[in-house]
Amino acid sequence: MKKLGFGLMRLPLTDANDQTSINIEQTKQMVDMFIERGFTYFDTAYPYHGGASEGVLRQAVVERYPRERFTVTSKLPCWLINTAEDMERIFNEQLQRCGIEYFDYYLLHALNPDYTRIIDRHDGWGFIARKKQEGRIRHIGFSFHGDSPLLERLLTEHPEIECVQLQINYLDWDSPAVESRVCYDICKRHGKPVIVMEPVRGGALARVPQAVNDLFRSHLPDASAASWAIRYAASLPEVMVVLSGMSNMEQVDDNTGYMRHFEPLTEQEHAIVNQAADLIRNSIAIPCTACHYCTDGCPLNICIPEYFNVYNTMHMLGTDYKGNSQMYYNMHSKNHGRAGDCIGCGHCEAHCPQGINIIEQLKRVAETFEH
């Protein structure tokens, strides 16, 4: 299997304010290029695109290609499990949504301390093991957003787990909050292949400061910033596949172009990436990856990732860009709650994999664009 996977969570939209309005015809074209260039791995999940992602997988992939041409991964939404029966119901719904009889990979989704307690309480471990025995899952695992001691415990207690999905990118590699390096090393020690999510950090490592672009182009003039990030993750020996949430044909063309005949980073290129990481750390104000876990259930319908992206862009490009950022903020706020409308309920922070103090950051956004 080639080391690039298609993450179906940032697909092209017909309405920027509606995550379910996926442009299916454009998505089909993207899928066609991906498969024609020899790639097979598709990653989806129950909540992606407001619940529409799994159905799009069926329309764009399953109904148009033989089953042996593609690999499907989906995930059990732990936060929706209140009874053991919920797991069976949701799992069957996912198979139906995707239009398949089995998942190649099926993961417990976004395990952290709270979600682990839910899975332990309802024996989600036993559930996915049984589904594997029934032939409905080929390989079982989990995606992870906890700390390294929790990961160590889970892999020690559940040696039956076959793979782990981790957030790995060159900006988070030594982050004390994300612990990419430590978690990768734990998986390596337990002999578990790693699936990489957020290699481009929600697009932030594709839109790098000019100084970083100049640094990259001095070595590889024609390589995109995103290619450096994805090759960095794919260069790790224990990495099975690197997911990219692609949004247009240009991204598919770029990613599949350099990953068709993948070449790991050289020692010199690793040094360049480390320099880039130092430069970027000084330019990112809010470490949001735009996963949208925070927005489901927001009582004021605040489009948190979009506001953070607008704020980060202005912070990165300077105050001269504020007028443009203000325009985008005003556009988003027409159909969503404003940053200043936040009531501080904390629902978003409980679901943020990055541990961002969202309430305080929304105050910063409001002070910037609402006064």
Q: If we measure between CA atoms, which residue out of 265, 299, 301, 293 comes closest to residue 355?
A: 293
User: What tokens appear for 366 in the block?
Assistant: 């409001």
Whether residue 121 contacts residue 78, with contact meaning beta carbons closer than 8 Å, is answered with no
Q: Quickly state the pLDDT bin for 328 (edges 50, 70, 90).
A: confident
- Residue 320: per-residue pLDDT: 60
Q: How far apart are CA 186 and CA 208, in angstroms?
A: 30
Decide: 339 and 316 in contact? Cβ < 8 Å: no
What residue ranges do the domains of the chain occupy?
4-281, 304-369
d(CA 54, CA 259): 25
Please check whether residue 273 is in contact with residue 170, taking contact to mean a CB–CB distance below 8 angstroms. yes
Mean pLDDT across the stretch 173-178?
81
Q: What is the pLDDT of residue 140?
A: 98
Which are the contacts of 284, defined by CB distance < 8 A and separation ≥ 6? 171, 204, 312, 315, 316
| pTM attached to this predicted model | 0.83
Per CATH, the homologous superfamily of domain 4-281 is: NADP-dependent oxidoreductase domain (3.20.20.100)
Type of residue found at 258? Y
Q: Which residue has the tokens 């409905």?
A: 136
Q: Cβ atoms within 10 A of the Cβ of 92, count? A: 11
List the beta bridge partners of residue 143: 165
Give the CA distances from residue 105 to residues 37, 73, 222, in Å, rounded to whole numbers and listed in that order. 22, 5, 35
Question: Across residues 178-203, what is the average pLDDT?
Answer: 94
Question: pLDDT for 297-308, tens place per residue?
Answer: 999 999 999 999
Q: Are β-strands 194-197 and 239-244 bridged in parallel, bridged antiparallel, or unpaired?
A: parallel
Return the closest-CA partner of residue 259 out of 234, 292, 240: 234
Q: Is the pLDDT of residue 238 over 80?
A: yes
Asked if pLDDT for residue 323 goes beyond 80, the answer is: no
Smallest CA-to-CA distance from 100 within 74, 125, 130, 77 is with: 74
Res 317: pLDDT: 63
pLDDT > 70: percent of the chain: 98
**Tens digit of each residue's pLDDT (9 = 90 or more) over 94-145:** 999 999 999 999 999 999 889 999 999 999 999 999 999 999 999 999 999 8
Show Cβ contacts of residue 92 under 8 Å, excluding neighbours closer than 6 positions: none
CB of 14 closer than 8 Å to CB of 23: yes
The single-letter DSSP state of residue 64 is T
d(CA 168, CA 193): 13
CB 6 within 8 A of CB 31: yes
Average pLDDT (245-266) is 97
What mean pLDDT comes out for the span 36-48?
98
Query: Average pLDDT for residues 336-358, to the nearest whole number?
Result: 95
Which pLDDT score, from 0 to 100, does residue 319 have? 62
CB 61 within 8 A of CB 29: no
